[in-house]
Amino acid sequence: MKIRQILSILFLALLIAGCTHKTPYTNRSQMILISDEKELALGEQSYEKTLKESKVITNTKESLKVKEIGKKIAKVANTNYKWEFNLIENKAKNAFCLPGGKVVVYTGILEVAKNDDQLATVISHEIAHALARHGAERISTSMISQGIQILGNIAISSQAPEYTKTFNIAYGLGSQYGVLMPYGRMQESEADEIGIYLMHKAGYDLNEAIKFWENMSEGKKENIEFLSTHPSSENRIKSIKNIIKKLN
């Protein structure tokens, strides 16, 4: 092995060792190579683009409810984010939270979230992804797998579209708006757990979280969990019930 290769491996090992983080509540160790500043800047960029290209619903009962519930959960999250909550017209049953607390809820999810507590389940889950920096974790894994060792040179501008694409994929945003790519099973389960803790602190009915995921599973043909990026509905609900038991 050449000296340059050895030095590169040693540098990468030191870089990774110095970039170990802990997730909130679950206290899991994770490797994150992208700085908070770059993550927030990319998040703001994607968020602005999303709002510009979408139909944002304002001053309706539903949109105001999204903001009200979101702010209540954000308060207990106790993180210095510049929180924003918006309802967007989209039939997809989904939502997402970008770095810095930029939360988007699709109108489609309102068909499944039957009440405030169930909507709080959705918002808490998405906020949990952001608090645990799951997207940044995925970016880091992607960069390592591609052999990119130094992330400090990432430019936050339109001159670096390859990084914007990597960011969007890492945070669940597909190539076209409205298509969300799921997080991995481990991160989904972790977001469920953190989300339940947030709901509990905010005073929401945790049993409604179970009902929400039951609603989500209705009419869906389940895939074998091993082949799916999401936990099966059965295992997800079972896990959430166990978390709730610990809090009661």
Of 101, 81, 105, residue with least CA distance to 93? 105
For residues 188 and 19, give the distance between their C-alpha atoms in angstroms, rounded to a whole number. Answer: 22
Q: Where are the alpha helices (DSSP H) in 34-82?
A: 36-52, 61-77
Sorted by sequence, the CB contacts under 8 Å of residue 203 that are 6+ apart come out as: none
CA-CA distances (angstroms) from residue 29 to 24, 26, 127?
A: 10, 9, 19
Q: Please tell me the number of Cα atoms within 13 Å of 97 on its side-chain side.
A: 26
User: Catalytic pick from 84, 126, 190, 208?
Assistant: 126
Structure tokens at 71: 């702010």
Does 126 qualify as catalytic in the annotation? yes
For residues 3 and 28, give the distance between their C-alpha atoms in angstroms, rounded to a whole number. Answer: 35
Q: Please tell me the number of Cα atoms within 13 Å of 207 on its side-chain side.
A: 1
Report the catalytic residues: 126
